[in-house]
Amino acid sequence: MSRHKEDPSAVRDAKRQAWLMRTAEALGMPPDAALALLRQKRVQSLRLNPLRGDVHKAAEYLQKIGWLGEPYPWAQDTYALKVPVAEIRDSEFVASGQVFIQNAASWLPVLALQPQPGERILDVCAAPGGKASHIAALTDNQAELWINDNSRTRLVKMRANLDRLGVTAARTILYDATQLARRLAGEQFDKILLDAPCSGEGLMHYDRDKDFETWSVAHIKRLSKLQKRILTQAWQLLKPGGTLVYSTCTMAPEENEVVVDYLLRHHPEAQIEPLNIGLPNTTQAVLEWSGKVLQPAIRGCLRLHPSSTIEAFFVCALRKNDDKSTATVASARQNRYDSGYYDDV
């Protein structure tokens, strides 16, 4: 007896509806309001690269030929695009590394990291290199930048990208991020960027069928487990007093607040540094999901809902306290556990 095959369009529509309802719950709004956000058209953006010439002259010329829209006031040398990406993708400005086409939300993790010259910085999941190149630009290539990815193919392409953008990295490495602490045993970093592999909901569009081919709640749960493993590995490589920024381009709480909550529960020396960038599409962090209460400190994370100019995104800056401050934080957390405030996640 042959098994009944499900109608692909019906499966897709069921996924679409599930995504809508989950998004509405995560953003704390009615489904019709969430639907309007998920159907928005988005403006593409770019970053001018100071490692490849005078950004002011480049901006003047690009404005003159009608490419640049309004600047993003919260990120230096960044602009909305007034023309389709296809018109500039193969231009001399992109080929020479003067311009890097990048989603606006992708600048946020680097800004939260606040990279400084002289610091030792690790980018854990770096391909295709946009955030690493941003770190290099902000530090004028004066940071000791380590760049990792687990795919040889992506790594080769990323090296070409970084060369084009004028980035000088101390070391480019090819390691499985779930084994990173063992692979880099003995190494410690002042700053670590973990832009984690995720379900990419921030780039999805409600009416685009192909976006639902791989999306599922089961996939989100698998990614959450992977993200917890990678974050735990990266945390071991952070110096006391250092900062780790965790980010994703998804809205699923399992991949965002739940992952950060996991780290806080297992590492009392971890403390969230609140991010107050003041973006118009900022929304409250999720403090309860699937019947589980998360730690109140989670409200210091930055969660963005979709908008026409900035994609949905999640960013959390985590500081590793020293032994003395760790004891204070651990005591405060234990008091909350003893009071029954937290459910287990």
Which residues carry out catalysis? Answer: 249
3-state SS assignment for residue 170: coil
Maximum separation of any 2 CA atoms in the chain, in Å: 71
CA 119/CA 162 separation, integer angstroms? 19
Report in angstroms the alpha-carbon separations of 127 from 136, 139, 248, 313.
15, 19, 14, 18
Q: Going along 284-325, which residue ranges are E strands?
A: 288-289, 292-293, 302-304, 313-320
3-state SS assignment for residue 31: helix
Half-sphere exposure of 158 (CA within 13 A, CB side): 26
Q: By the 8 A CB rule, do 59 and 79 touch?
A: yes
Beta pairing class for 302-304 and 270-273: unpaired
Q: By the 8 A CB rule, do 293 and 266 touch?
A: no
Helix residue spans in 4-142 (DSSP H): 8-27, 31-38, 55-64, 92-95, 108-113, 130-138
What would the two tokens of residue 308 be? 């026409």
Phi, psi (rounded to 5 degrees) for 88: -120, -10
Please work out, in degrees rounded to the nearest 5, the angle formed at the alpha carbon of residue 192 by the alpha carbons of 215 and 303: 45
CA 46/CA 242 separation, integer angstroms? 29
CA 209/CA 311 separation, integer angstroms? 19
3-state SS assignment for residue 69: strand
